Structure 1
Amino acid sequence: MTTSSPTIAKRPPQFFWLLLVRWCTIALLLGGAGGCASLPANEGRTPSTFFAQPEITPLGQLVQARRAQATTRSDSAFHLLDDVETALTSRLALIDGAQRTLDLQYYAIHADASTEVLLQRLRDAARRGVRVRILLDDFNSVGADAQVLRLAFEPNVQIRLFNPLPGNRSNMIGRIITSLHDVGRMQKRMHNKLFLADSAWGITGGRNLGDQYFGTGDKQNFVDLDVLAAGRIVRDMAVSFDRFWNDELAYPVQTLLDPEDLDELRKWQPASAARAAEAPKPVLPVTVSPTVLPSVTPTAVVQAERPPMDLRTVPLVWAPATLLVDAPGKVGPGDDEVNAGETVIDGLLNLMQQAQRDVLIISPYFVPGERMMAIYGQLRKRGVRIRVLTNSLASNDAPAAHAGYARYREDLLAMGVEVYEMRSDPETAPGLQGGHAPERRARDLFTGGPGGSKGGSSRASLHSKAVIIDGRLSVIGSMNLDLRSQLKNSEVGLVIRSGALAQEATQQVEQTMATAAYRLERKDHGFHWRAPPGAAFGDEDSEPGASTKLRLLVRMLGPFAPDQML
């Protein structure tokens, strides 16, 4: 049985013909635009490799000294970065400590206050002789965020864009239109996240770079999880970086900028004129030939007053570890199933199938699909406890992904999976406020002091990606437990065998469940969201904190969006 909108039903018959003609015209225009743009030949790239002698650098020697102090057999060490302050200061420490190389691989780097600080430090490192390589997925490098690409014109800095889209970078819609002829390739993205210094220390996890990942977003801030790594495992991370950096899908940024893009870079002005006038140092001044970018206007921010993390004293857990990483070809042209059985998600599912007691899943976008659901069912039949922490509708920044997840809620609960949904209230979100570092302290890094907070009314959104198995094995990385991570995106994850680190991560997740999340329960005609005992908020019988408009949107999306596209 179908229903129709009362408004549309009253329209005269010619309305439908006009509507049909309009959409056909748009489709033809989009199709024509999509066929016009193409990528340049990716020729003349110079291969480069990671720095293979970390032991001769101060960062490498520090790793050796820390290992000697610990008297451990393990050659890799780790520290969880579970709050916005340590997430930022650890990256500053790696930049400031590097003497030879800095390699960054990210899905998104946003042009805002936090990255002004980080990119200023990267520029300073390049000017003291450090080779800086930045590999960035091309999808988000548009509009204001394209300003990040100005760093490519600094001496000693190279930027490559992975799986680029044709067309200029003025806005996202235009770039999507010019890629409609190749939607399959456009859907595949490099989602990896690595931050490496002298091949001795590195960071991976869920965070991209930008205000909302460091607790200073205007409208939204992500609760996220990274891990700081040192020692042998960082060389494995560096090898993975090189595979992507030297792949044919990685284009030097200069080959992709057209005259319109260069004009936009010239026009760029600081977001805050007052802050720019008061700041002592410019950020991202581009030193290039006058014939290329003759009139780039620099900006500035107040430099971070809080010092970087002290790598000499930061607590480290020494443990055996391995790296799960997808091949660059997963993002390339071809069948979605080309790497079936060999992806990061496949490896993670194989580890989960070996669980004996407990599996704890943290995934902001949780769309299991048939195979994952079958594995969860097998684990439950063996008595393995499964707990899942994901976003509520109100905290999810991707309503379509929530629509996909909602399809599985009833079956998950029926098989005995414990499902928790995080609230959108930043006051209860760990790592932003009330966690290891209050949100205000992180904002002070960019505003120069208290009182300048700009995110007090922002909502919290879960972005951490981790699986903890039997309280001894932790997998932390860029992957979500969904079909997009399994079939579309390239991902990376660290597998760490340490009871101590697994216990630390579990405690952090359980704190969120106990203070900032609802437990989902079945009800006769729907669901019940149960608040934690003693919480300042109460139970709910409908999507907590979500507007009627948002609920209707998800209901509309639900029947139509395929799981692998969410």
Structure 2
Amino acid sequence: MTTFTPPIPQALKPRGLLRRLGCTASLLVALLPLPGCGSLPTDVARPESHALAQPQGTPLGALADARRPASARAEQDGDSGFALIGSPNEAYSSRLALTERAARTLDIQYYAIHADASTRELLTAVRAAAARGVRVRILLDDFNSTGRNALVMAMAFLPNVEMRMFNPLPGGRGAGALRALGSLGDFKRIQHRMHNKLYIADNAWGITGGRNLGDSYFGTADGSNFVDMDVLAVGPVVRAMSLSFDNYWNNPLAYPVQSLITPDELRALYHSTAPARPAASATAGAQTAGAAGAETASAPSANGHHGPEAAASAPSDAVGPPLLPPAMDLDTLQLTWAPALLLVDKPSKLVPELNDEHTDDTVVDGMLALMQSARRDALIVSPYFVPGPEMMKVFAAMRARGVRVRVLTNSLASNDAPLAHVGYARYRKDLIRLGVELYEMRALQGAKLDRTVFGSGAGGSKASLHSKIFIIDGRVISIGSMNLDLRSKLQNTEVALVVRSVALSREATAKIDDTLDDSAWKMELTAEDQLRWRAPPDAPFEDARSEPDASLGLRMVLQLLGPLAPDEML
């Protein structure tokens, strides 16, 4: 793990191939060690580039200086400014604001960019920034870049835009499952994914947290939407975010899009994945070569990412734009100034032969060390929560010295990765016996979504917890991309922003407490040592003695597949 510490006072997975393919994939790995169906290019040119050295010379840099309070300027030159981004509307509007106000550079790093309507709108703004001379660098993990999501790669063929795919899979991009199956000969490498999330403008303002880019993260998906939290940062810690981006961008695992796919291949993929529509003219057909870029550019992959300059034109089958908010007003946004540091896994963590699985130098280990520093209480939000034996020892030690530990995670019904729930379920009773206060979020339905405690504005039919938050003693808060599970520790690279701020900790705690009081079950053990889901007082839902709101199929997954899947693969 690399700790990027700005000049502050001393005071201070896919969810993975197994989750995508289910246990069938693990059996295939064991029984049919298939050779890969392709190979990655060699002798790839990767010109080095770096973040803007002097952000103070940009309007966003000047705004950052202007927003710094006099007390911070005089006494705490290392402090950075922060704002919690809780609602889906804020998640979209904050990124749009950075995009529209960037003057020199935009650096965008994600695990997934979905090819959907909200991303089309956001990437339209990114294309406009490039058109006015902003240098755009997009770094995307390659696991989800199949089907229409792969069309986001058309951005790479626009002027002033560079795009690289991290730790790519060889082979075609037509179908994700087939592509993954074709890479089983290299199973260990492709299990390691870049899960980092950064959105940085002019090396002056940046966003990190749990969200990828897509409808389900911006509250506009028809089905399940994610309840999440990001943090917007301004000041010295943004330089640390940019340094992290540069380390990944210039790494040998980052392949320029042009080395992986051609405009003609993107054009063919666009036509093969486009919804049925009336026949288009030859001219319109030619323009759709990169039309996907407009649609995918607006539709990056969620959890992910056609041609040349034509990618800037909207596809003929594009749906109407979703109801999305305007850009956030950065001039009046309330900021909390505090010391902070950024924890980032090294890119080499994704190279199996260089990655020592017994290392204690990962972002998750940093979170465990932070937890062990607690004197009074620790509040943990982790959507995928698979502690494993070593983490259980940490919880036991914390409880032995009287630290209150509360954990909020998904219920089986709200979890978008049921296999992750399989691993978590093994530890529920032991956690409760230790005295850990364990809560499971309800799969909120319909209108109830606007009461989710991490912010209003989520649409769709169901909410799934996706936030990754640690709050220690009400004074230190961490928000990042990591889950408290062995996949985040051993398989993925992660990033976390740690801020020492009572004000931010209190604000986030209030939001989480609202969820615990209104929308979550507290787990208990009965006198017969059986699990009970206890509903909050006056809640519009009841206690339960089995996985509430979960279908028979989901419960069967838990019962039948639980013994087969190892913790580190979940």
- TM surpasses 0.5: yes
Amino acid at match of 1:168: G
* Residue in structure 2 matched with residue 478 of structure 1 by the alignment: 481
Match of 1:67 in 2: 68
Q: Give the length in aligned residue pairs.
A: 518
* Aligned amino acid, residue 64 of structure 1: D
Find the counterpart in structure 2 of residue 328 from structure 1. 347
- Asked whether 1:350 is paired with 2:369, we answer yes
- Report deviation, 1:487: 0.5
Distance 1:408 1:48 in 2: 45
Q: Could you tell me whether the CA contact under 8 Å between 1:150 and 1:284 is conserved in 2?
A: yes
TM-score by length of structure 1 reads 0.86
In structure 2, how many angstroms separate the alpha carbons of the residues matched to 1:210 and 1:553? Answer: 28
Structure 1 residues 408 and 336: alpha-carbon distance in aligned structure 2, compared to 1, 3 A threshold: farther
Offset at residue 289 of structure 1 (A): 7.5
Match of 2:356 in 1: 337
SS at match of 2:81: strand
Between the aligned partners of 1:168 and 1:214, the Cα distance in structure 2 is: 29
Say if 2:483 is the partner of 1:463.
Answer: no
SS, match of residue 164 in structure 2: strand
Query: Are positions 1:224 and 2:228 aligned together?
Result: yes
With 263-272 and 543-552 compared, the bigger mean Cα shift is at 263-272
Q: CA RMSD in A?
A: 2.7
| Residues 282-307 of structure 1, C-alpha deviations (whole Å, 9 max, x = no match) | 884567389x9999868474386632
Identify which of 313, 323, 336 aligns with 1:317. Answer: 336
Name the CA distance, whole Å, in 1 between partners of 2:447 and 2:378: 24
Measured against aligned partners, the alpha-carbon deviations of 1:506-562 in whole angstroms (never above 9, x if no partner) come to 111110000000000012152110101111111111111001111011111110100
Partner of 2:268: 263
Is the 2:293–2:312 contact (alpha carbons within 8 Å) kept by the matching residues of 1? no
Task: Give the 3 Å change call, closer, same or farther, for CA 436–186 of structure 1 in structure 2.
Answer: closer
- AA aligned opposite 2:96: L
Residues in 2 aligned to 1:492 and 1:301: alpha-carbon distance in whole angstroms: 35
Within 5 Å, which residues of 2 pair with 1:370-409? 370-409=389-428
AA aligned opposite 2:427: Y
- 1:513 and 2:516 correspond: yes
1:88 aligns with 2:92: yes
Q: 1:37: Cα distance to partner?
A: 1.1
Structure 1 residue aligned with 2:101: 97
> Is residue 163–residue 189 contact of structure 1 (8 Å, CA) maintained in 2?
yes
Q: Which moved more, 1:548-557 or 1:228-237?
A: 548-557
In structure 2, distance between residues paired with 1:28 and 1:345: 29
- From 475, 488, 491, the equivalent of 1:488 is 491
Q: Deviations over 1:134-180 (max 9, x none)?
A: 00000000011111111111111111000000001000122112211
Structure-2 change in CA distance of 1:394 and 1:464 (3 Å): same
Distance 2:33 2:227 in 1: 39
Q: In the alignment, which residue of structure 1 is the partner of 2:18?
A: none
User: Aligned pair in 2 of structure 1 residues 183, 305: CA closer, same or farther (>3 Å)?
Assistant: closer
Specify which of 84, 95, 110 is matched with residue 114 of structure 2.
110
Which residue is 2:7 aligned to?
Answer: none
Equivalences for residues 528-543 of structure 1 within 5 A: 528-543=532-547
Task: Provide the residue aligned with 2:154 in structure 1.
Answer: 150
Judged with a 3 Å threshold, the aligned counterparts in structure 2 of structure 1 residues 335 and 57 are, in CA distance, closer, same or farther, namely: closer
Amino acid of the structure 2 residue aligned with 1:60:
G
Q: Report the Cα offset of residue 435 of structure 1.
A: 6.5
2:20 paired residue number? none
2:383, 2:321 → 1: CA distance?
A: 33
For residues 553 and 189 of structure 1, the distance between their equivalents in structure 2, rounded to whole angstroms, comes to 25
- Say which SS state the counterpart of residue 551 (structure 1) adopts: helix
- The structure showing larger relative contact order (alpha-carbon pairs under 8 Å, at least 6 residues apart) is 2
| Equivalent residue letter for 2:441 | M
Cα distance in 2 between the residues matched to 1:294 and 1:475? 40
Whole-angstrom distance in 2 between the partners of 1:492 and 1:437: 26
Give the match for residue 40 of structure 1.
41
Is 1:288 the counterpart of 2:308 in the alignment?
yes
Change (3 A) 1:30 1:266: farther
TM-score normalised per structure 2? 0.86
Q: Deviations over 1:493-514 (max 9, x none)?
A: 0000000000001111110000
Query: Residue 52 of structure 1 corresponds to which residue in structure 2?
Result: 53
Whole-angstrom distance in 2 between the partners of 1:146 and 1:192:
19
Shift of 1:459: 1.3
Matches of 1:30 and 1:407 in 2, distance apart?
A: 29
Secondary structure of the residue aligned to 1:558 is: helix
Residue from 323, 326, 332 that aligns with 1:307: 326
CA distance in structure 2 between the aligned counterparts of 1:294 and 1:78, rounded to whole angstroms: 36
Partner of 1:502: 505
Conserved? CA contact 1:468–1:474, under 8 Å: yes
CA distance in 2, matches of 1:62, 1:427: 40
Q: Distance in 2 between matches of 1:428 and 1:306?
A: 19
Q: Tell me, what secondary structure is at the counterpart of 1:348?
A: helix
More deviation, 552-561/292-301: 292-301
SS of 2:56 mapped into structure 1: helix
Matched-pair contact (CA < 8 Å) for 2:453–2:512: no
Alignment equivalent of 2:385, drawn from 341, 362, 366: 366
- Change in Cα spacing, 1:536 to 1:432, as seen in structure 2 (3 Å) is closer
Which residue number corresponds to residue 8 of structure 2?
Answer: none
User: Which blocks of at least 5 consecutive residues in structure 2 are unaligned?
Assistant: 1-24, 279-283, 285-290, 295-305
Match of 2:125 in 1: 121
Contact conserved, 2:413 with 2:443, CA < 8 A, in 1? yes
Q: Given residue 460 of structure 1, which amino acid in structure 2 is its aligned partner?
A: A
Provide the rounded CA distance (Å) in 2 between the counterparts of 1:127 and 1:222.
32
Identity %: 53
Any idea what SS the aligned residue of 1:532 has? coil
Q: Distance in 2 between matches of 1:540 and 1:179?
A: 42
2: CA distance, partners of 1:193 / 1:241? 10
Q: Give 1:409's aligned amino acid.
A: R
- Code of the aligned partner of 1:415: L
Do the aligned partners of 1:427 and 1:434 also contact (CA within 8 Å) in 2? no
Structure 2 CA distance for aligned equivalents of residues 414 and 405 of structure 1: 15
With over 3 angstroms needed to count, the CA separation of the structure-2 counterparts of 1:429 and 1:49, relative to structure 1, is farther
CA distance 1:226–1:293, shift in 2 (3 Å): closer
Q: Deviations over 1:430-474 (max 9, x none)?
A: 66668643336xxxxxxxxxxxxxx2xx21100000110000000
Q: Distance in 2 between matches of 1:484 and 1:227?
A: 23
Query: How big is the shift at 1:254?
Result: 1.2
Greater mean deviation of Cα atoms: 428-437 or 230-239: 428-437
